[in-house]
């Protein structure tokens, strides 16, 4: 196989073409002609004996082999850039860190951490992308992601942030008006607020009862796709909602919300974790942000604290 020196232009051309969507767009970024970029990609395909792109007169798309190759090549190029930066600028963290996170967690916990981080590491930039859909972190070029779950995807490392059990809550005002459920069956006579994700998925509510565990999957008064907005709806006295403990924590502490059926409701066995690709030599810019955020998360009472004391006297205990 040709040396890295000989193949590097082809690797750069392939990755940039995948990111830009065309040879002409990649050529502008690389300051080459479209013909040169196309030739570089063709040379690489011939060297690998694998087609990386499907080409038509109007469309260019990665093959399955191309997707896998480009994802791994991005990691290699990033490592090469980091090695060059370290050699020429020392170990001072600098550069852009691409982070993916769910919307609610990013807004409530990641964003507030960044002012202190930037004060400590002024040469690091953060590209924070928020969405609630499952994505390919490596394939889309992210340095790390923060998601629910503790099992890392293949080839990735997971660092647990916290447990995130669910709680069933309502405002005292709502319960005064509509009555307090004493059993899970009573929920059928209440307004329920439920999370319905964009893919249509909903999670049933589970309860411990004398006959065992029951699953409650009734219709709701209001469906919301954003888990964090369920908190807003509950605080507007609109009904009974289930949400992650960290979303409800402050309102439970203040008494704006109380837990409903706390002794019978079975919380979801959920965790939050930080995922990053498993490869030797995590870049200094990435490492300092990961370490800073993990220390920040460890200090957040709503993530790490125990369920508030008022749970023991919460309305609807059976």
DSSP-derived letter for residue 305 is S
In the chain, what's the furthest Cα-to-Cα distance?
76
The pLDDT of residue 243 is above 70: yes
Percent of the chain beyond pLDDT 90? 38
Domains in the chain and their CATH numbers?
A: 4-69 (1.10.10.10), 91-162+272-302 (3.40.190.10), 166-269 (3.40.190.290)
Global pTM reads 0.65
Q: Would you place residue 268 in the very low, low, confident or very high pLDDT band (cuts 50, 70, 90)?
A: confident
3-state secondary structure of 20: helix
pLDDT tens-digit profile of 8-22? 888 888 888 888 888
Helix 34-48 × helix 23-30 angle, to 10°: 110
Q: What is the pLDDT of residues 282-295, one digit of tens each?
A: 788 999 999 999 99
Q: Are strands 144-148 and 271-277 parallel, antiparallel or unpaired?
A: antiparallel
When pLDDT is cut at 50, 70 and 90, the band that residue 225 belongs to is: confident
Please give the mean pLDDT across all residues of the chain.
84
Using only C-alpha atoms, the chain has a radius of gyration, in whole angstroms, of 25
Q: What is the pLDDT of residues 41-71, one digit of tens each?
A: 988 888 888 899 988 777 888 998 888 888 8
* DSSP class of 107: I
Which pLDDT score is estimated for 279?
A: 57
pLDDT at 85: 61
């Amino acid at each position: 196989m040709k040396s890295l020196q000989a193949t590097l232009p082809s690797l750069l051309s392939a990755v940039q073409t995948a990111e830009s969507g065309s040879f002409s767009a990649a050529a502008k970024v690389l300051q080459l002609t479209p013909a040169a970029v196309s030739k570089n990609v063709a040379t690489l395909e011939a060297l690998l004996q694998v087609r990386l792109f499907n080409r038509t007169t109007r469309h260019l798309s990665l093959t399955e082999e191309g997707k896998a190759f480009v994802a791994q090549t991005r990691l290699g190029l990033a490592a090469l850039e980091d090695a060059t930066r370290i050699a020429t600028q020392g170990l001072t963290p600098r550069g852009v860190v691409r982070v993916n996170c769910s919307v609610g967690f990013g807004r409530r916990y990641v964003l507030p951490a960044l002012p202190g981080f930037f004060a400590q590491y002024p040469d690091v930039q953060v590209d924070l992308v928020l969405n609630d859909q499952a994505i390919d972190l490596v394939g889309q070029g992210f340095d790390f992601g923060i998601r629910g779950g503790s099992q890392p995807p293949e080839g990735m490392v997971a660092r647990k942030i916290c447990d995130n059990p669910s709680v069933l809550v309502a405002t005292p005002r709502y319960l005064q008006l509509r009555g307090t459920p004493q059993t899970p069956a009573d929920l059928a006579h209440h307004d329920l607020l439920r999370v319905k994700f964009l893919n249509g998925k909903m999670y049933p509510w589970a309860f411990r009862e004398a006959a065992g565990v029951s699953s409650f999957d009734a219709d709701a008064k209001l469906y919301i796709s954003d888990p964090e907005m369920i908190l807003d709806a509950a605080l507007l006295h609109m009904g009974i909602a289930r949400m992650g403990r960290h979303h409800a924590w402050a309102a439970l502490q203040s008494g704006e919300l109380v837990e409903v059926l706390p002794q019978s409701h079975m919380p979801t066995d959920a965790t939050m974790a930080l995922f990053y690709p498993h490869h030797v030599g995590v870049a200094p810019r990435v490492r300092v942000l990961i370490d800073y955020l993990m220390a920040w998360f460890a200090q957040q009472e709503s993530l790490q604290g125990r369920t508030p004391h008022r749970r023991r006297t919460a309305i609807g205990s059976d």
